[in-house]
Amino acid sequence: MTDSGEEEIVEDEITEDGEVVEEAVVEQIEQTEDAEQSEVVVDEAPEIEEEPVAVVDTSSYSGDEFIAFVRHEGKVLLMQRADGVADFPAAWDGVYGIGDPNDIEAVTRRIEEATGITAANLTHIRSAEARGLEFGNRLNDVTPILFNSESTEVEPRTLYKIAEWADPGHIVTEQPEPDAVSSGSPRYTIPQLGDLYGDVASYLYVLKTTMGQEEKVASEIQARLSGTGSLQDIQSEIFSVLCPTMMRGYVFVEASAYHHVEKLIGRAGGRTTPLKNCRKVLPGASPLGAVTPYLEPKAATAGIEEGDIVEIRVSSFKGERARVTNVAENKEEVTVELFDTPIPMPLTLRADQVRVTQRVDE
């Protein structure tokens, strides 16, 4: 009996110990789960804080950057960035620099450093207001500055690997081949390169007009620019209007940007009446090299040489053939001797009154 009693006591103790052990295990598991939960919370909090957000930091704006454009006789210097440059590798650019854009001497030194053009050959023309340009995830205030250069010898340095003197009409497009039909493929440039150049210089745009109405269109444009209406805000962006006598059906407008010309003729903005007899603005800026021959009047004596055979187009000698004996370029006159006359008869005529029918070297 004593043995059984002792066994019961042992069983009770085991049971009690078992309950104690079970309670300890449960408590330990609960503590472990609490610890794991607390660890999860601690681990997750930094991940939420460190999650990247695609927002441009506007606090990184700065006004100490510039792009200098160097011009020489109607051409502008474009610089191609090296392939290893962090921002816009291989993109076409002006001369980019960091520093006070109002310190013209410092800007001049930067141009010399990047191009090899000496300061003695550089002349500051003008500067414009800064533009906000996005470089990666930061915004920079970049000031455009225009210089004139007396030299065309360039040695690309620092950021740049290639230099090219380009027509302003090809700042944002590649120079096409001479026999190409298209105007050139888009050029890879830094952001807003064409706009930056327009801020300190100008482009030439071509208006398509009704044949024979070119002068009326040009006069109406001048009247609109001198008014006080809705076009006041672009008056300073339109510099000149050209009506070439040798190119019928077209009017040239010199302006800082394409959209200003569209607004001028009432094709954009919605507030200006469309300009009568003006159909549209031809796409893109026109290269100066393509239109210069039409802007410079051709001398009447051009292409006429002594010894040429000509046909007289006016007066009582109309239709007669003659040989040129003298060309007076300063007076735009020619002296000829008529054929089929018993006595040589020299005549002095305006150069536009004769037509060459046979060259002296033919």
CATH architecture under which domain 202-295 falls = 2-Layer Sandwich (3.30)
257 vs 194: CA distance, rounded Å: 9
User: With a threshold of 0.75, does the pTM exceed it?
Assistant: no
Looking at the DSSP assignment, which residues form a beta bridge with residue 69? 146
35 vs 308: CA distance, rounded Å: 108
Class of domain 309-358: mainly beta
Residue 252 pLDDT more than 50?
yes
264 vs 237: CA distance, rounded Å: 10
Residue 229 pLDDT more than 90?
no
The three-state DSSP-derived secondary structure of the chain is CHHHHHHHHHHHHHHHHHHHHHHHHHHHHHHHHHHHHHHHHHHHHHHHHHCCCCCCEHHHCCCCEEEEEEEECCEEEEEEECCCCCCCCCCEECEEEECCCCCHHHHHHHHHHHHCCCHHHEEEEEECCCEEEEECCEEEEEEEEEEEECCCCCCCCCCEEEEEEECHHHCCECCCCCCCCCCCCECCECCCHHHHHHHHCCEEEEEEECCCCHHHHHHHHHHHHCCCCCCHHHHHHEEEEECCCCCCCEEEEEECCHHHHHHHCCCCCCCCCCCCCEEEECCCCCCHHHHHHHHCCCCCCCCCCCCCEEEECCCCCCCCEEEEEEEECCCCEEEEEECCCCCCCEEEEEHHHEEEEECCCC
Domains of the chain: which residue ranges? 1-33, 60-176+186-198, 202-295, 309-358
Average pLDDT over residues 276-281: 92
Query: Does residue 132 contact residue 58 with C-beta atoms inside 8 Å?
Result: no
- Cα of first residue to Cα of last residue in the chain, in angstroms, is 151
Give the model confidence (pLDDT) of 165-217 as tens digits.
Answer: 999 999 988 776 554 444 568 899 999 999 999 999 999 999 999 999 999 99
| Residue among 269, 265, 165 at smallest CA distance from 218 | 265
Determine whether domain 60-176+186-198 maps to CATH 3.90.79.10. Answer: yes
Average pLDDT over residues 2-23: 43
| Residue among 143, 129, 172 at smallest CA distance from 68 | 143
| Average confidence score pLDDT of the chain | 81
| Residue among 183, 189, 265, 276 at smallest CA distance from 231 | 265
Sorting pLDDT into bands at 50, 70 and 90, what band is 147? very high
Average pLDDT over residues 124-141: 88
Residue with tokens 């000829």: 336
pLDDT score, position 179: 47
Give the model confidence (pLDDT) of 75-125 as tens digits.
Answer: 999 999 999 998 899 999 999 999 999 999 999 999 999 999 999 999 999
pLDDT score, position 8: 43
Give the model confidence (pLDDT) of 25-65 as tens digits.
Answer: 345 444 544 544 444 443 444 444 444 433 333 344 445 89
